Structure 1
Amino acid sequence: MPLIALAIACLTLITLCYGGLCAASPFGTCRRCNGFGFATTTDRKGRPKRGKSCRRCKATGKRIRAGRWLYNRAQRIYREGTH
């Protein structure tokens, strides 16, 4: 029984921390371009150069976090349902 209570407490703490992170910083770096906003390629001499713009983040280098996306969606549904 104490093991289940400990697991629930840990999951609650993790959820609250992630919720705080989503509230404080709703955008994270794009995982595809690592926050650059474009792909890095190399030229024929092996030097890095700028590649195509990232389509996932639309060349901003930022993406919305999953928790913040869910919160925004819930708020939008709530607002549309109360009008």
Structure 2
Amino acid sequence: MTLLLTLLLTCLPIVTLCYIAWCAANPWGTCLRCAPGGHNRTCRACNGTGMRPRIGWQLWTYLSRSHRDGTR
């Protein structure tokens, strides 16, 4: 049990930092609601572009905007 907890505590920050780096380098991902490999003009999630921002990028944008608006 101790080994599992230690492994989790060391791997979780590494995975988190890798995801943050991935979102900073490539903030746009493919839309999961559109048909794979195509663009759907009527898709409301991506407005027909086939690309939408990743969850981590949306969270970063929300937090940075709320910080900026709160410190003005």
SS at match of 2:44: coil
Q: Which runs of 4+ in 1 moved over 6 A?
A: none
Following superposition of structure 1 onto structure 2, how do residues 2-81 of structure 1 map, counting pairs within 5 Å?
2-33=3-34, 34=36, 36-38=38-40, 52-81=41-70
RMSD, aligned α-carbons = 1.4
In the superposition, the TM-score normalised over structure 2's length comes to 0.85
Unmatched 5+ residue regions in structure 1? Answer: 39-51
Contact 1:27 1:62 in 2 (8 A): yes
In the superposition, the TM-score normalised over structure 1's length comes to 0.75
Contact 1:30 1:62 in 2 (8 A): yes
How many residue pairs were aligned?
A: 70
Q: Structure 1: which amino acid aligns with 2:65?
A: R
The Cα shift of 1:55 comes to 2.1
Q: Deviations 1:15-49 (Å, cap 9, x if unpaired)?
A: 111101100000100001135221xxxxxxxxxxx
In terms of fraction of residues, the more helix-rich structure is: 2
In terms of fraction of residues, the more strand-rich structure is: 1
